[in-house]
Structure 1
């Protein structure tokens, strides 16, 4: 069986405390990376770190750790962008250069589960390699500006569309260059939950699973404190698309970059606006939009994470 060649671009922050506010950072990138490490039909050809959930130095360190300690084969890791694209002075980095070299050798699927900065820079600086990108799978988007990402029961806060919010231009570059884009937004990840029981199930003799389960405990407790019984493993829906797209429900829509009232500042009196990535049937940039999972998805997800 020929394996799907996948490059992972990630803002890993497993176990990290947040820098600018109380609490812990997302752990979901860790689930996506481990899932692809274990997938028999996937070959991870490289990992690049990007800023996002945490600082680039942390994402790079954690990417190195996961590749060195939990990957079943040798995977090179590269340090990428520390901030969003500056269109007035586009600079390359180690990760972009490495991804360019990899694409020169063979076509690749790209799992970009942080801001799309590294991929956007690549497309700007190496436009001749666009045809080598089979698809870019991203975690972003919504159907309407008021389709807020509600967290907690009752809703304790709105979550940002962080990957898009941190670098709007990177997404625009992908769309305007007709790169095939697959979106796994909050709409689908909000239908999948991991609980304390699931974290216990992960604690097999597999060292990567044990580490991820332990590092996920503070993250789980944050969600429980907000009234939930578990947490949404956002990025694992994107990795699952590459592993087994038949487990997701999707449709072809068109994407638009639109400006609306800032969903993070709805209670403030100031006139504050931001860009949104809106997907609907109006004319725009074609995307594959994943919005639901098959009925036995949770078991399929757990099986993919616990296989040795």
Structure 2
């Protein structure tokens, strides 16, 4: 079976760690590189965390490169109140080999990988979209060899960082807008899809017994503030990986989406035109719903395949 080549752009982050692990151990994916961006914590920490993860999983052959340290135009924000001050609080990882960090920036590395690939690359951004916006703006020649972009971000309703804005898009609205105006094939896995398929306490207790990855996840989950360990945790970024690997468990719609950058109270809002008020052609596939039982079953089986 030919594996699908992908680039992961990420800001680890506890739920990022889950999404990365599942992708790394999938028989269907060929991870060409991991690109880091500011987000849940600062760039130095997200990059350090990515290197800690590839070491933990025994995947140090996968290139890790660091990208944008701050948004295109805005002041930097983070989500350390959710993920802890290091971004991955709760588990004692070994220190990584920092010499393995690529010397070139992630934007340069992504360009090289995309341009040299024999088949189109899928990009999986699960943090702010700054790196992707810079890539597309600086090197538009990569577009013909990008198969699609499947991103975790946005919301069809209320937000988790602002009244109407989800964290990843709120962190850099201008970057998100560039991506949505890129003309590429886009899939948006929004905030509200994640809250419909929580990782329950029973699932967390079960994966703890599966392998060292499950044990590590369990330790992280105990510290994670994306919901409640007792009533259910939101693993937003893993939903993007799930859609990439098992799209049939999701309900989707093709609609027009744009990003609000000017609103006094709504900056970073993903304007998802579900009822066609704007009379614009669809530019994005948006996840509307998933089957919680099927998602949890997929999640457990995916963790089983990890080390």
**CA contact under 8 A between 1:248 and 1:291: conserved in structure 2?**
yes
Task: Measure, in 1, the Cα distance between the counterparts of 2:266 and 2:5.
Answer: 39
**CA contact under 8 A between 1:120 and 1:173: conserved in structure 2?**
yes
Task: Measure, in 1, the Cα distance between the counterparts of 2:132 and 2:289.
Answer: 26
Work out whether 1:213 is the aligned partner of 2:213: no
Relative to 1, partners in 2 of residues 1:274 and 1:72: Cα closer, same or farther, differing over 3 Å?
closer
**CA contact under 8 A between 1:37 and 1:71: conserved in structure 2?**
no
Q: Map of 1:1-308 to 2, 5 A cutoff? A: 1-13=1-13, 27-72=14-59, 74-86=61-73, 94-106=105-117, 107-143=120-156, 147-149=157-159, 160-204=165-209, 206-219=211-224, 223-224=227-228, 229-258=231-260, 272-280=265-273, 281=276, 282=278, 283=280, 286-294=283-291, 296-308=294-306
Q: Mind listing any 5+ residue stretches in structure 1 that lack a counterpart?
A: 14-26, 88-92, 152-156, 263-271
Relative to 1, partners in 2 of residues 1:163 and 1:67: Cα closer, same or farther, differing over 3 Å?
same
Compute the displacement of 1:150 (Å).
6.9
Compute the displacement of 1:159 (Å).
8.6
Task: Measure, in 2, the Cα distance between the counterparts of 1:70 and 1:211.
Answer: 11
- Aligned residue-pair number: 270
Task: Measure, in 2, the Cα distance between the counterparts of 1:224 and 1:300.
Answer: 21
Query: Which 10-residue stretch deviates more, 54-63 or 171-180?
Result: 171-180
**CA contact under 8 A between 1:67 and 1:76: conserved in structure 2?**
no
Structure 1 equivalent of residue 90 of structure 2? none
C-alpha RMSD of the superposition:
2.5
Compute the displacement of 1:196 (Å).
2.5
Relative to 1, partners in 2 of residues 1:169 and 1:39: Cα closer, same or farther, differing over 3 Å?
same
Query: Which 10-residue stretch deviates more, 72-81 or 57-66?
Result: 72-81
Compute the displacement of 1:273 (Å).
4.6
Relative to 1, partners in 2 of residues 1:34 and 1:169: Cα closer, same or farther, differing over 3 Å?
same
Compute the displacement of 1:208 (Å).
2.5
- Listed one character per residue, the Cα deviations across residues 155-197 of structure 1 (whole Å, up to 9, x for unaligned) are xx96950110111111221222202111000121111111222
TM-score normalised to structure 1 length: 0.80
- Listed one character per residue, the Cα deviations across residues 76-116 of structure 1 (whole Å, up to 9, x for unaligned) are 101111101249xxxxx711011111001112101100001
Task: Measure, in 1, the Cα distance between the counterparts of 2:182 and 2:263.
Answer: 28
TM-score normalised to structure 2 length: 0.80
**CA contact under 8 A between 1:112 and 1:136: conserved in structure 2?**
yes
**Larger relative strand fraction:** 1
Task: Measure, in 1, the Cα distance between the counterparts of 2:140 and 2:5.
Answer: 20
Compute the displacement of 1:218 (Å).
1.4
SS at match of 2:27: coil
SS at match of 1:46: strand
